[in-house]
Structures are given as structure tokens and as C-alpha cells.
Amino acid sequence: MLKNAPTENKYVLDWIEEMAALCSPESIVWIDGSEAQTEQLRAEACATGEMIKLDQEKLPGCYLHRTAVNDVARVEDRTFICTSKKEDAGNINNWMDPEECKQRLTKLYRNSMRDKTMYVIPYSMGIVGSPFAKYGIELTDSIYVVLNMLIMTRVGFDVLSTLGGSPDYIKGLHARAELDEKNRYIVHFPEENTIWSINSGYGGNVLLGKKCFALRIASYLGRKENWMAEHMLILGVEYPNGETKYVCAAFPSACGKTNLAMLIPPEYYSKKGYKVHCVGDDIAWLRVGEDGRLWAVNPENGFFGVAPGTNEKTNPNALHTTLKDTIFTNVVHNTKDNTVWWEGLDKNPPEVAIDWRGNPWDHRKYDKNDKSTCGAHPNSRFTAKATNCPCLSSEFSNPRGVPISAIIFGGRRAKTAPLVYQSTSWQNGAFVGSIMASETTAAATGEVGVVRRDPMAMRPFVGYDMGDYFAHWLNMGKLIPNPPKIFHVNWFRTDDNGSFLWPGFGDNMRVLMWILDRCEGKADARETAIGFIPYATDICIEGLDGVTLDTVEELLEIDRSAWLSDVEGVKAFYKQIGDRVPSELYSELSALEGRLTK
């Protein structure tokens, strides 16, 4: 079956032979990244109904796909880290013995591709040939996966030639099988550079370059090799003098990373000549540069963004990015003009439409408080090319990456966390990241809106023990001579009526500017029990309707009793993580408690 393979790498060929013998596909097709082959696959997917070609005048190169109704988000309870020792996966991850797992999944993979094609996708996370890049091969029986990988990663035979005869690549096997949720598994073998995914067709579970490789496996590799794989956007703020400063920000899934990464500065700043450039919206790989600073690359090549809520006001750049070459998943199909729609796009829901389940949809029956009446699934997505983003940074394809001035953590918290605060050191910043918490969203299955601890926004994505991950953060601090300053933000604070106090979106630039001023030593701050807080007058509110100095004061208030109860939550969480939580973080926790009770 592997006649005419475009590589002689025996580690690649032997593995594909073995997986093909297991899954019994009818044929094997190598994905070369060419437009001709991609177009042929699109046509095939449209012929079988796997995708719908949208109006090519209004949305050139755009398609719609619907997943199975039981398969719409990442499944954390079905996600496993299979290390040989359970303690290396830790208490926060699900663990299975690697051999037992392989036995169980082998039964599910057996003959799962009968009568189907197995596609072989050679891909790179990062610029092919650059020292930051890492390579993977994904085997899949889904054209939808192939077409998404072609957008999200760098796919082609240059990956194989760069890999040469090396065994150093990540082996990914994906089969849709029966889409049986009871037998759905997203499994990582970090000690063997291997990922197995079965019975799902949802992006986060099946685009193996993304969460599985670029976060779970990469975080494991980063610890071994002294670098970091983080759930962070990367953006650059260009000053009127042409200088650009870069920040990374870690927020949990569906908490506005894409919006922040592509923000349009408020007029107050744009008139002066400030610009924002997007380097990445979801994942950053961070290494110590020769100059002693921390440098970041975005290993992805596209955006897999949440559609609902994306509109001309919240994120015009994302909206424009999706106007061509985009695959929409689980949004509303406007059958009158063959376009797409989602809640929060505009105030004109289509009159004649099919919802994400594939049923006729009557927008008049939509009830904001009842998610089951939505036309688009709350976790519906767009897969769009980075190069179509109007504010893409000129450094996006720079293999060196960009130097990072600040790391920003953030969660969705109605109370407790102030608009912004700064940690007092790298160690204290790692502590701030470790105690992050956020209200859950629709990006993963499970209840929405409950507060859960999500350290560094990496709870679902650390490929090893969380305590060891914290230790790795502390260790990295010792390896970076000139480390970024670490901050925490919260755009989601509400007043007593439950209304957001801060306008968010483009106006978050005002907070970014305080952060960057702090990095330059240009802004003052007040030292409090939790860290450095801005003076309200230092957050620029010029041109901002409805936000007064009093609002900013309220946004910056620290409620000691809420913080003290948070401290109890952190103690319980650290205990749950287990005995590998570094003592330095316990010292930080008791020092915080001490300051709060003083």
C-alpha cells in the first residue's frame, strides 16, 4: 500500500504500515499541501455531504460543516495522559496504563477504516526548518480533518524532506469510527511521542497538531528541553515611533483570547498612531533567547475561533479573516443566500435557515436564556487562515519569534479579581498563574458558568503532573536573565445588577498600555496584599462613554473576604494536585494569606 511513498524514512513508513494494518483502509493518500489536491478533497467532501459549499461570491473559498450532535466540544473526561507511571500524569489528568490503553483502543481501531481512505498528513508546528519547529504526521479517515489541518498547520512534503530519516516526529492516529461517545478517547503517550484519537470529529479532539501536540505533548517536551508550551495569545503593540512591544496572554478557552489578539485600538490611541498586530490567538511556544529575553512563536498557521459573539464591534479583524477560505462548523446555514450566521453576528437572523443540528430553524423561537434554542452551537467555530487576518503581524513568519515584555493571566470572574494587577516577581507571578480561576464556558463539555481553578489556563492541556508543571515555571524563571513581568487581568467584573463594569474588547488596550508602561518603569502603582494595582487615574479613560474614575476605582477594589475564601479554594486545589506542588508556591500562598489578614 505504501508504494510511491514520498519519503524513505523507515520510522515513518513502518509506523504507517502498522497503523494501516490495524485500521484496514481501502487506500492511503498522502497529503502534499497542493491547491489541486486540496480542491479535489473539497469537491469530494461536498459530494458526500460532509461539507456544504457556501456562496462563492459572498464567501469565496468558504464551506460549512456540521459535526454529530453528540460531538461538539473537547471532552476532558475522555482525555488521557498515558505515562508509564501514574504519578507522572498527576492527579489533575486522567491516566491509563499505556499498554492497557493500547489494548483497549486497538480493538476500537481494528478495521475502523474499512472501505475508507486513510489520509497521511505531514505537518509542521512552526516554520518548517526553523529551530523552533516540531513535526507531526496525522493519519485520519476524515477529509474535514485534512482540510482543517491544511489551514491550521503547515502541511506538505517539505516537512518530510526536512525530517529526513529522523524518528523525531509526533505520531497521530485519528479515526472517526462510529462517533460513539462512550468509546470516545483522546489519548496521549508523551513518552512515545504518540497521540491516539477515536470516535470524535470535533476540532479540539481531532486536529491533533493543536491541543494534543502543541500543548499536551509539547508541554511535556518543553519541560525536558527547557522551554514552555503555553495556552497563550501573542500580540504586538506598535508605538507611534514605530517600536513594537510584545505580550503573551493566557485565558481559558472561549474567554476572549482571539478578541484581544486582534483588537482595534480605541480612537484615542489610533489617532496618535498606535497599532496592534496579532502574532497568535491560542498557543505560544516560549524559549530563552541569546539576548536573555523570553521569545515566543505561534506554532499554528490559522485560527480555530469561537463564532458566536464575533461581530463588527467585538472583533472586526476576526470577522474579516473569515470572509474567505474558511471552514465554518456548527453555525446557522442561511439557505436563502447560502451564507452563514451565528448568535451575536448581527441583529438580522436569517428568515430561512438550518440550525447547527441540521434542522429548520425559526429565529422567532430563539430564547436567549435557553441555549437549546440557539441556531448556532455556542461552541461553533471558524477555521480561518492566519494570512487572511488584516492585523497579522509582519513577524508572524519570523522563525525567531518575538521578544516578550509581559505575560498576562486572566480569567472570567464576576467578582474577586480586579481589572488588573501586577505580580511582584517571577516566582510570585508563577503563583498568580497557579491560582487562576475562571467561570467555565462551552468550549468543553460540562456545566457552563461554574468557577473552576484553571492554572495558567492550562488545566486541560498540561501533558504531565500539574505540580511538576509549576516547578517547571519556577525553574524557567531561573533560566531567563531578563524575564517578562507577570500580570493578571479580569475583563468580566460585574456590578450588583450583574452588568459588566468594563467595556472590554478594543478598550482593553487601555489596560495593556498600563501594563507596558509598568514594564518600561513609566507607570506608578500601589502595593497591595495581592500585588501592584494601578492608580485609577493611570488607566486612560479618555473617549470612553459611561466609565468614570469611580468605575475604575470599583474595578480595582480588592474584597479581602472574597480573597480569603479564594485562598481556601487554592489550598484545596493544591491538595488535590498533590505532593509535587513546589514549596515556594505554598510560601507564596501563606504570605498572601498573611497580607490579607493583616
Phi, psi of 330 (to 5 degrees): 65, 30
x-or-dash string of contact with ligand OXD, 300-329, rule CB under 6 A: ----x-------------------------
Cβ–Cβ < 8 Å for 89, 95: yes
Cβ–Cβ < 8 Å for 70, 78: no
CB of 358 to ligand OXD, least distance (A): 22
CB of 16 to ligand OXD, least distance (A): 28
DSSP codes joined into one string, 564-590: HHHHHHHHHHHHHH-TTS-HHHHHHHH
Rounded distance between C-alpha atoms, residue 123 and residue 130, angstroms: 13
CB of 441 to ligand OXD, least distance (A): 9
DSSP codes joined into one string, 366-411: --TT-GGG-SS-TT-EEEEEGGG-TTB-TTTT-TT-EEEEEEEEE-
Residue 204 touches which of ligand OXD, Mn ion, none (Cβ within 5-8 Å per kind): ligand OXD
**Near ligand OXD by CB under 6 A: residue from 65, 66, 74, 493:** 74
C-alpha cell recorded at residue 115: 472501505
Q: Which CB, 430 or 457, lies closer to ligand OXD?
A: 457
CB of 500 to ligand OXD, least distance (A): 22
Rounded distance between C-alpha atoms, residue 456 and residue 434, angstroms: 6
Q: Which CB, 105 or 206, lies closer to ligand OXD?
A: 206
Phi, psi of 434 (to 5 degrees): -70, -25
- Residues that are catalytic: 255
Angle at 262 between CA 260 and CA 266, to 5 degrees: 80
Q: Which CB, 112 or 197, lies closer to ligand OXD?
A: 197
CB of 304 to ligand OXD, least distance (A): 5
Residue 304 touches which of ligand OXD, Mn ion, none (Cβ within 5-8 Å per kind): ligand OXD
Q: Which CB, 75 or 581, lies closer to ligand OXD?
A: 75
CB of 254 to ligand OXD, least distance (A): 7
CA 581 to chain centre: 25
Return the bridge partners of 286, or none: 228, 296
Rounded distance between C-alpha atoms, residue 109 and residue 145, angstroms: 17
Cβ–Cβ < 8 Å for 305, 260: no
282 touches Mn ion (CB under 5 A): yes
CB of 283 to Mn ion, least distance (A): 7
Cβ–Cβ < 8 Å for 77, 95: no
281 touches Mn ion (CB under 5 A): no
Site for ligand OXD in 433-472 (CB under 6 A): 443
Looking at beta carbons, which residue is closest to ligand OXD? 253
CB of 145 to ligand OXD, least distance (A): 15
CB of 155 to ligand OXD, least distance (A): 19
Given the rule CB under 5 A, which of 184-192, 276-284, 320-328, 363-371 is the region that contacts Mn ion? 276-284
Cβ–Cβ < 8 Å for 139, 109: no
Site for Mn ion in 233-272 (CB under 5 A): 253
Q: Which CB, 343 or 588, lies closer to ligand OXD?
A: 343
Site for ligand OXD in 531-560 (CB under 6 A): none
Number of residues that bind ligand OXD (CB under 6 A): 6
88 touches ligand OXD (CB under 6 A): no
Q: Which CB, 188 or 245, lies closer to Mn ion?
A: 188
Cβ–Cβ < 8 Å for 330, 67: yes
Site for ligand OXD in 359-398 (CB under 6 A): none
Rounded distance between C-alpha atoms, residue 464 and residue 95, angstroms: 10
CB atoms within 10 A of CB 538: 18
Q: Which CB, 198 or 214, lies closer to ligand OXD?
A: 214
- Distances in whole angstroms, Cα of residue 584 to Cα of each of 29, 222, 391, 467, 564: 52, 21, 40, 11, 19
Number of residues that bind Mn ion (CB under 5 A): 2
79 touches Mn ion (CB under 5 A): no
Alpha helices in 69-227 (DSSP H): 86-89, 98-109, 143-152, 157-163, 203-206, 218-225
Q: For residue 115, give every residue at least 6 positions away whose Cβ sits within 8 Å of its Cβ, in sequence order, or none.
A: 26
Q: Which CB, 217 or 556, lies closer to ligand OXD?
A: 217
Site for ligand OXD in 244-303 (CB under 6 A): 253, 282
Q: Which CB, 282 or 454, lies closer to Mn ion?
A: 282
x-or-dash string of contact with ligand OXD, 26-45, rule CB under 6 A: --------------------
3-state secondary structure of 104: helix
CB of 514 to Mn ion, least distance (A): 26
Q: Which CB, 304 or 469, lies closer to ligand OXD?
A: 304
Rounded distance between C-alpha atoms, residue 209 and residue 177, angstroms: 20
Query: What is the gyration radius of the CA atoms in the chain, in angstroms?
Result: 24
Which residue, among 317, 345, 314, 372, has the nearest Cα to 500 in the 3D structure?
A: 314
Residue 74 touches which of Mn ion, ligand OXD, none (Cβ within 5-8 Å per kind): ligand OXD
Looking at beta carbons, which residue is closest to Mn ion? 282
Alpha helices in 353-507 (DSSP H): 426-434, 466-479
C-alpha cell recorded at residue 236: 504586538
204 touches ligand OXD (CB under 6 A): yes
Residue 443 touches which of Mn ion, ligand OXD, none (Cβ within 5-8 Å per kind): ligand OXD
Give the residues lining the site for ligand OXD (CB under 6 A): 74, 204, 253, 282, 304, 443
Give the residues lining the site for Mn ion (CB under 5 A): 253, 282
